[in-house]
């Protein structure tokens, strides 16, 4: 499998604290990869460093092109999409306007149209002209994911998409992830509680203390009780 | 009395709209970049001087259109090559940068045009009486100023609410990082907003110059009022800036026009508690009213009338 994203010896700092301590992993074309780990081990920081939101030190190659040193908007335009954990919707804009801002330019067409989003989440269509700030947590989560998809990324990095969602919503998110994979888009899924990671991932990485401590397939992960115990269970 | 109310309202709204032309840019720049631009009123002054310089060479109308654009370009360049370089040293450095810039601009104006007011006049084509009401005349130039300000307001509103760039600006007001990670060039948007904000202030200078006095101290005189406007309105709130601009415009105009003192209002004995202040006519107290409002707002409603965060 050709690597779409190659992260090599990635370091990141918040002020003086060393958050990422040489993270190395890769994601293949069309692959679903999960990044697991307890709170505070640097999973979100890894994504933010890849996006250039946190200054990265090391090497990140996307389609073999070095992207360390590029600005976030340049990285996004190469085809990397980011869905933040805190559901950073634009609260004073409507649902439709939020989705429009997912597009990188006015007439961007790609694998996803706004109608696709509405078909997957009819709820968003019902509320298309509502201020996004008044949506429920689950609706906001859908909106954040759909907004990023509107920019037609080749790799979408999703931070804790099921955190705090009702079971029905979790199912919907799972369904969308399936749809994304079906259209040939690679997924990097960050999770703590393994809600959907084990069901959909091709490969898993586990992080601990700012580095990768396990790499393998789901069966390999399931066979290794120590990994869960040492690096995931609280 | 009716005459006084009519004309004071007209003048108050006019002054308020002028304030808003500057406050709108200032408050947008603040909410996007977190920088209170101390040099904003300087762009207003440059606008007036550019307008003067162009109008005496070619005519008022070329100045009216060209001067704001020039000021906007200068503003954009200052953001791109000044403010953005200082940005990595934090907000205090940025604040000091704009603070220093205001002095630099004032000194440059002093050097080029001198300390005395320049002879920037209302163009003959607008120098006539617009209408006469209750035996008082109202100059056409004031109507023109009002029309310009209203047109600017509509233009700004349409850009912000109806265009894609406007959506990006609105989103970047609160979530600049997220907007960038969706693939939008946020630094470029910042530069544009700074430039347009400076241009709007410049335009205010171009049209206010002939009506008021074009002199090197005009920025320092106006700057503090602008801060009052955006703090009272709520930092970062365009709607708030609009309401506060009109409020302060009306308050100041009416205060100057109405010749009552505290003694007239509450009786001489009660007013004597306030000493000399009690006998002073309202017109004399007028200049202090905006600052009084500022203090009251900060005490009782720190986030301003329409603001969402504490100032």
**Which domains, ranges and CATH numbers included, belong to chain A?**
3-87+152-232 (3.40.50.300)
Place of tokens 């004995």: B269
Q: HSE (CB half, 13 Å, CA atoms) of A16? A: 0
**Structural domain range at position B14:** 2-300
- Tell which residue, B156, B146, B252, has the closest CA to residue B207: B146
Q: How many CB pairs under 8 A join A and B?
A: 57
Q: Is B122 helix (H, G, I), strand (E, B) or coil?
A: coil
Q: What's the CA gap between B247 and B241, in Å, rounded? A: 10
Q: Is residue B259 part of a domain?
A: yes
Q: Is residue B277 part of a domain?
A: yes
The pairs formed by A194-199 with CB atoms below 8 angstroms and a separation of 24 or more are: A194/A36, A194/A232, A195/A162, A195/A170, A196/A161, A196/A162, A196/A170, A197/A34, A197/A36, A198/A222, A199/A174
Q: Is residue B68 part of a domain?
A: yes
Place of tokens 């909410």: B31
Hey, are the CB atoms on A101 and B185 less than 8 Å from each other? no
Residue B215's pLDDT is: 84
Residue B265's pLDDT is: 65
Q: What's the CA gap between A203 and A5, in Å, rounded? A: 14
- Tell which residue, A163, A185, A186, has the closest CA to residue A173: A163
Hey, are the CB atoms on B167 and A53 less than 8 Å from each other? no
Hey, are the CB atoms on B182 and A71 less than 8 Å from each other? no
Q: What's the CA gap between B156 and B145, in Å, rounded? A: 16
Q: Is residue B308 part of a domain?
A: no
Q: What's the CA gap between A169 and A163, in Å, rounded? A: 10
Select from B171, B175, B180 the Cβ nearest to the Cβ of A73: B180
Hey, are the CB atoms on B171 and A77 less than 8 Å from each other? no
How many other C-beta atoms lie within 10 A of the C-beta of residue B65?
A: 11
Name the closest residue on chain B to residue A76, using Cα atoms. Answer: B183
Residue A205's pLDDT is: 93
Hey, are the CB atoms on B167 and A97 less than 8 Å from each other? yes
Residue B309's pLDDT is: 55
- In this structure, what token pair is assigned to residue B236? 């970062």
Q: What is the ipTM of this complex?
A: 0.90
The B residues from 41 to 100 touching A (CB cutoff 8 Å) are none
The 3 state secondary structure assigned to chain A is CCEEEEEEEEEEEECCEEEEEEEEEEEECCCEEEEECCCCCCHHHHHHHHHCCCCEEEEEEECCEECCCCCHHHHHHHCEEEECCCCCCCCCCEHHHHHHHHCCCCCCCCCCCHHHHHHHCHHHHHCCCCEHHHCCHHHHHHHHHHHHHHCCCCEEEEECCCCCCCHHHHHHHHHHHHHHHHCCCEEEEEECCCCCHHHHCCEEEEEECCEEEEEECHHHHHHCHHHHHHHHCC
Hey, are the CB atoms on B184 and A104 less than 8 Å from each other? yes
Q: Is B125 on the interface with A (CB under 8 A)?
A: no
Residue B311's pLDDT is: 40
- Tell which residue, B85, B78, B67, B68, has the closest CA to residue B37: B78
CATH code of B106's domain: 1.10.3470
Domain count, chain B: 1
Q: Provide the pairing of β-strand A32-36 with A203-208.
A: parallel
Q: Provide the pairing of β-strand B129-133 with A80-83.
A: unpaired
Q: Is residue B278 part of a domain?
A: yes
- Tell which residue, B43, B38, B39, B91, has the closest CA to residue B204: B43
**pLDDT (mean) for A73-83:** 94
Hey, are the CB atoms on B181 and A92 less than 8 Å from each other? no
Q: Which residues pair with A10 in a beta bridge?
A: A23
Q: Is B160 on the interface with A (CB under 8 A)?
A: no
Q: Is residue B307 part of a domain?
A: no
Q: What's the CA gap between B283 and B72, in Å, rounded? A: 36
Q: What is the pLDDT along chain B (311 residues), one digit of tens a residue?
A: 777 788 888 889 988 988 998 898 888 888 887 788 889 999 999 999 998 888 888 888 888 899 999 999 999 999 899 888 888 888 888 889 998 998 999 889 888 888 888 888 888 877 777 777 777 787 888 888 889 988 988 988 898 888 999 999 989 888 889 999 999 999 899 899 999 999 999 999 999 888 888 888 888 888 888 888 988 888 777 888 889 999 988 988 888 777 666 666 666 666 666 666 666 676 777 778 888 888 888 888 878 777 765 44
Q: What's the CA gap between B92 and B88, in Å, rounded? A: 10
Q: Is residue B290 part of a domain?
A: yes
Residue B267's pLDDT is: 67
Q: What's the CA gap between A73 and A95, in Å, rounded? A: 22
Residue B262's pLDDT is: 61
Q: Is residue B306 part of a domain?
A: no
DSSP H/E element including B60: helix B60-78
Q: What is the pLDDT of residues A154-169, one digit of tens each?
A: 999 999 888 888 888 8
Q: Cα distance from B103 to chain A (closest Cα, Å)?
A: 34
Q: What is the pLDDT of residues A123-152, one digit of tens each?
A: 889 999 999 999 988 889 889 999 999 999
Chain B residues whose beta carbon lies within 8 Å of the beta carbon of residue A71: 180, 185, 187
Q: What is the mean pLDDT of chain A?
A: 89
């Amino acid at each position: 499998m050709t690597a779409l994203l190659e992260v090599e010896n990635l370091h990141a700092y918040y002020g003086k604290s060393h958050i990422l301590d040489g993270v190395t992993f890769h994601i293949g074309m069309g692959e679903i990869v999960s990044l697991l780990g307890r709170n505070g081990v640097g999973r979100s920081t890894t994504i933010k460093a890849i996006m250039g939101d946190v200054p990265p030190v090391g090497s990140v190659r996307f389609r073999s092109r070095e992207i360390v040193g590029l600005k976030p908007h340049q990285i996004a335009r190469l085809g990397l999409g980011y869905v933040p954990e805190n559901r950073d919707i634009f609260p004073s804009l409507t649902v439709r306007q939020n989705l429009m801002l997912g597009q990188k330019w006015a007439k961007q067409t790609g694998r996803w149209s706004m109608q696709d989003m509405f078909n997957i989440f009819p709820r968003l269509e019902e509320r298309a002209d509502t201020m996004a700030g008044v949506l429920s947590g689950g609706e906001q989560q859908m909106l954040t994911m759909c907004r990023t998809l509107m920019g037609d990324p080749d790799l979408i990095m999703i931070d804790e998409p099921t955190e705090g969602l009702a079971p029905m919503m979790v199912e919907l998110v799972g369904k969308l992830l399936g749809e994304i994979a079906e259209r040939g888009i690679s997924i990097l899924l960050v999770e703590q509680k393994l809600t959907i990671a084990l069901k959909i991932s091709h490969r898993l990485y586990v992080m601990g203390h700012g580095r990768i401590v396990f790499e393998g397939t789901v069966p390999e992960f399931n066979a290794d009780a120590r990994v869960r115990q040492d690096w995931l269970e609280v | 009395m009716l005459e006084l109310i009519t004309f004071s309202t007209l003048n108050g709204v006019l002054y308020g709209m002028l304030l808003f032309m500057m406050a709108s840019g200032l408050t947008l720049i603040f909410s996007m970049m977190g920088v209170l631009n101390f040099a904003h009123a300087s762009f207003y002054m440059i606008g007036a001087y550019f307008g003067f310089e162009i109008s005496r060479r070619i005519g008022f109308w070329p100045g009216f259109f060209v001067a704001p654009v020039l000021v906007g370009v200068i503003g954009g360049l200052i953001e791109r090559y000044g403010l953005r370089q200082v940005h990595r040293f934090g907000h205090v450095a940025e604040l000091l940068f704009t603070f220093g810039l205001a002095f630099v601009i004032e000194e440059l104006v002093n050097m080029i045009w001198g300390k005395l007011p320049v002879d920037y006049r209302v163009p003959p084509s607008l120098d006539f009486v617009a209408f006469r009401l209750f035996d008082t005349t109202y100059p056409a130039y004031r109507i023109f100023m009002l029309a310009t300000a209203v047109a600017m307001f509509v233009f700004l509103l349409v850009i912000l609410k109806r265009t894609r760039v406007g959506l990006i600006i609105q989103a970047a007001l609160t979530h600049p990082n997220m907007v960038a990670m969706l693939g939008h060039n946020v630094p470029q948007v910042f530069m544009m907003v700074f430039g347009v904000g400076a241009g709007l202030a410049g335009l205010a200078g171009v049209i206010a110059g002939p009506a008021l006095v074009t002199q090197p101290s005009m920025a320092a005189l106006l700057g503090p009022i602008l801060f009052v406007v955006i703090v009272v309105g709520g930092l970062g709130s365009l709607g708030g800036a609009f309401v506060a601009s009109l409020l302060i415009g009306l308050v100041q105009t009416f205060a100057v026009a109405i010749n009552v003192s505290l003694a007239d209002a509450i009786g001489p004995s009660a007013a004597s508690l306030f000493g000399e202040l009690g006998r002073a006519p309202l017109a004399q107290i007028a200049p202090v009213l905006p600052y009084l409002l500022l203090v009251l707002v900060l005490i009782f409603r720190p986030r301003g009338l329409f603001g969402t965060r504490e100032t």
